[in-house]
Amino acid sequence: MRRVVVLALLALALPIMAMADNITMTNVDGTIAISAIAGTNGLGTIGVSTITSKGSELTQWNTTTGHLGYVNYSTGALTSGSISGGGTFAGGGSFDVIGVGAWAKKLTGETKNPITLFAGSFDGPITWTLDSSSKQKSTYTLSGDITGTIWTGRLVNGSTSQNISILNKGQLNQGIGHINMGTTGLSTPEPGTLGLLGTGLVGVAGMFRRKLIKR
């Protein structure tokens, strides 16, 4: 009976251990562009308006910090609410992380820069939340789940939260804003081999259990 318990625990523990490889990153600065905003008095256009960002500086990748590269992203079309008051965007679009410098070469084994560290898109709806508003500035949070591949070709998933400021009504009507800071976390799923090993151990445990029952 003890063997069955040990094997079952191993089968459960291995996939959990494989899930422990997480990537955390932050980005700051950069601008956003909001499409189809002109003439809408800051509301945007449902089914058309999107948010696109380019050039936000990657400042942390796990324990590595500094000027590391760039984070670029775009949303699907606005599906509900408004740009000025908050709403929801469709998934899709893109979310890409570009590494620049010796650190990225060392991480990936590549010899040329820039290097795409993560290429993905938003998975499901994207929330656009109005956090605060005044005559001088409004702040928003753009958040959603993302999925894609890292430089090794391995599939990963996670989530991102981007804090964005839009100065006064004029900037809103022009469809431009500033990224204050973004945080993103990616979880690496278990490799197929470890998943199969865990399944195999469960099978072995079952065999031992059947033998014990027969006795």
Q: In whole angstroms, give the CA distance from residue 88 to residue 128.
A: 6
Dihedral, CA of residue 29, residue 127, residue 73 and residue 165, to nearest 10: -20
Return the pLDDT at 191: 59
Question: Where are the strands (E) in 30-154, listed by range?
Answer: 31-34, 51-61, 64-74, 78-82, 86-89, 92-99, 115-122, 126-133, 137-150
- First-to-last alpha carbon distance for the chain, in angstroms, is 12
Express each pLDDT in 81-124 by its tens digit: 999 999 999 999 999 999 999 999 999 999 999 999 999 999 99
Express each pLDDT in 18-76 by its tens digit: 444 899 999 999 999 999 999 999 999 999 999 999 899 999 999 999 999 999 999 99
Return the pLDDT at 21: 80
| Average pLDDT across the chain, whole number | 86
Higher pLDDT, 89 or 15: 89
**Residue 148: pLDDT band by 50, 70, 90 thresholds?**
very high
Q: In whole angstroms, give the CA distance from residue 131 to residue 84.
A: 11
- What is residue 16's DSSP assignment? H
What are the domain boundaries of the chain? 1-19+190-215, 21-189
Return the pLDDT at 188: 83
Return the pLDDT at 152: 95
Return the pLDDT at 158: 98
